[in-house]
Amino acid sequence: MCGIIGFIDRTKSRMDGSSIKAALSLMNERGSGDGAGYAAYGIYPEYADCYALHVFFDNMAEPKAKVDEILKQWGEIVHQEEIPTTPQPGIKKVHIPWRYFFKPSEDLMAGRMASENDVVMHIVMQVNAYVNGATIFSSGKNMGVFKASGWPEDVANFYRIEDYKGYIWLAHNRYPTNSPGWWGGAHPFNLLNWSVVHNGEITSYGTNQRYVEEYGYKCTALTDTEVVAYLFDLLGRQHELSHEMVVKALAPPFWDDIDRMPAKESELNKAVRLTYGSALMNGPFAIVVGTEDGIVGFTDRIKLRPLVVGENGDRLYISSEEAAIRTLDPEVKNIYTPRAGEPIIGRFIE
């Protein structure tokens, strides 16, 4: 059991983190104090062209030197600093959260790493798999993940979450059951601009993991949610599928329904299942994914986890509980629960 929240303002009007903290804390009985986290998009406008790499360092000696070296090899560190934190009695600071604003060098983009995204993905995989004492847990542009072991309000106060203003917010309150409660295991999970909060347990993890690892992703977080970020990156970025199509691959219609569809639609859905069978996610889940152009919420095919949607003008809210949405926006309208597997997509207005 976990509690999740997704928020988007379609006009890119930004909201600070205070109400997200309040809404997430409301769902404390969905968590166990072993992890909480927030992702916010639109928080680094002054470095919008740079990749904001958030890193947990175990110490500031060896791991930091190694990460510096790798980054300098691949491009330019435009700016770096410790992520500002305020000590909290409920949080033991076992890592030093650090951020780099990084620009990959165009000269090195070739072969398998033909784009800056490919380079950054490579760096993230290398550091997380091979550099002891360093974990890059956020690597998008103009966005960042803030997470730790602790209760939602402690983690929010620790990172001073109310100081950030974002047009997308994701939040997660963790009750770990299948992996250790460590900082890197808290949600959101992120790769490039994909961030994932997840309530549930992916019973197909082994299949999904071995599928993404064929394409250079390395699962190192010791928990199942990580693979969702990689599936979105593989299908959404590398295979250029639309968000709707990615959800169709991850939580496809049942064969009985596909058989009853009109011929063309049936053929398309069959093709998705045949091609992306290894990406299908099984087991109970409710997920919200943050992307560079919006948010996507969906549940497993038989909806074994709750998901509620609310709207108010340009704002779209997705959460495990209606009460959390009402805390975020007491004026919220049009609250409903989507069907199993149905994608809820909030996009920016052009």
Partner 1 sequence: MTLGSVPPKFKVSIDRDQCMDCGRCIENCSYGVYRREGDKILIESRKCTACLRCVAMCPRDAITLTEKPVDYRSHPVWTREAREDIINQARSGKIILSGMGNARDLPIIYDRLLLDACQVTNPSIDPLREPMELRTYIGKKPSKLNFRKTESGDVELETKLAPNLKLDTPIMIGHMSFGAISLNSQLSMAKAVAETGTFMGTGEGGLHKALYPYQDHMIVQVASGRFGVNIDYLERGAAIEIKIGQGAKPGIGGHLPGEKVNEEVSKTRMIPLGSDAISPAPHHDIYSIEDLVQLIRSLKEATEWKKPVFVKIAAVHNVAPIAAGIARSSADAVVIDGFRGGTGAAPKVFRDHVGIPIEAAIASVDQKLRDQGVRNEISIIASGGIRNSADLAKSIALGADAVYVGTAALVALGCRVCGNCYRNLCPWGIATQRPDLVSRIDPEAGAAQVSNLIHGWTLELSELMGAAGINSIESLRGNRDRLRGYMLDEGMLKILDVLPAGA
Catalytic residues: 2
- Interatomic CA distance for residues 25 and 29, integer angstroms: 9
- Interatomic CA distance for residues 300 and 271, integer angstroms: 20
The yes or no reply on residue 350 touching partner 1 (CB under 8 A) is: no
Question: Pick from 283, 314, 335, 348: which binds partner 1 (CB under 8 A)?
Answer: 283
Smallest distance from partner 1 to CB 213, Å: 7
Neighbour count for residue 49 (Cβ, 10 Å)? 12
The yes or no reply on residue 225 touching partner 1 (CB under 8 A) is: no
| Cα–Cα distances in angstroms (integers) from residue 338 to residues 174, 199, 303, in the given order | 23, 16, 9
The yes or no reply on residue 255 touching partner 1 (CB under 8 A) is: yes
The 3-state DSSP class for residue 266 equals helix
Per the structure block, which two tokens stand in for 346? 């909030």
- Cβ 199 vs Cβ 320: under 8 Å: yes
- Interatomic CA distance for residues 175 and 284, integer angstroms: 14
Stretch that binds partner 1, among 4-12, 70-78, 125-133, 279-287 (CB under 8 A): 279-287
| CB nearer to partner 1: pick between 305 and 326 | 305
The yes or no reply on residue 214 touching partner 1 (CB under 8 A) is: yes
| Cα–Cα distances in angstroms (integers) from residue 225 to residues 66, 185, 229, in the given order | 27, 9, 7
DSSP character at residue 83: P
The yes or no reply on residue 115 touching partner 1 (CB under 8 A) is: no
Question: Pick from 82, 213, 313, 336: which binds partner 1 (CB under 8 A)?
Answer: 213
- Interatomic CA distance for residues 216 and 53, integer angstroms: 19
Neighbour count for residue 58 (Cβ, 10 Å)? 15
Q: What part of residues 145-204 is at the interface with partner 1 (CB under 8 A)?
A: 177-178, 200-201, 203-204
| CB nearer to partner 1: pick between 23 and 250 | 250
In the sheet that 51-57 helps form, which strands lie side by side, from edge to edge?
A: 75-82, 96-104, 51-57, 134-138
Smallest distance from partner 1 to CB 196, Å: 18
Stretch that binds partner 1, among 120-128, 144-152, 188-196, 268-276 (CB under 8 A): 268-276
| CB nearer to partner 1: pick between 106 and 213 | 213
DSSP character at residue 177: S
Stretch that binds partner 1, among 45-53, 56-64, 188-196, 270-278 (CB under 8 A): 270-278
Question: Pick from 209, 223, 299, 320: which binds partner 1 (CB under 8 A)?
Answer: 209
The yes or no reply on residue 263 touching partner 1 (CB under 8 A) is: no
Smallest distance from partner 1 to CB 253, Å: 10
Smallest distance from partner 1 to CB 345, Å: 14
The DSSP line for 201-265 is --TTHHHHHHHHHTTT----SSSTTHHHHHHHIIIIIIS---HHHHHHHHSPPPHHHHHHS-HHH
Residue type, 283: G
Count interface residues toward partner 1 (CB under 8 A). 43
| CB nearer to partner 1: pick between 12 and 218 | 218
| CB nearer to partner 1: pick between 253 and 310 | 253
Taking each helix axis as running N to C, give the angle between helix 152-159 and helix 18-26, from 0 to 180 degrees, rounded to the nearest 10: 160
Question: Pick from 11, 206, 260, 323: which binds partner 1 (CB under 8 A)?
Answer: 206
Stretch that binds partner 1, among 64-72, 114-122, 299-307, 317-325 (CB under 8 A): 299-307
Residues that bind partner 1 (CB under 8 A): 1, 177-178, 200-201, 203-207, 209-211, 213-215, 239, 241-242, 245, 254-256, 264, 267-268, 270-278, 280-284, 301-302, 304
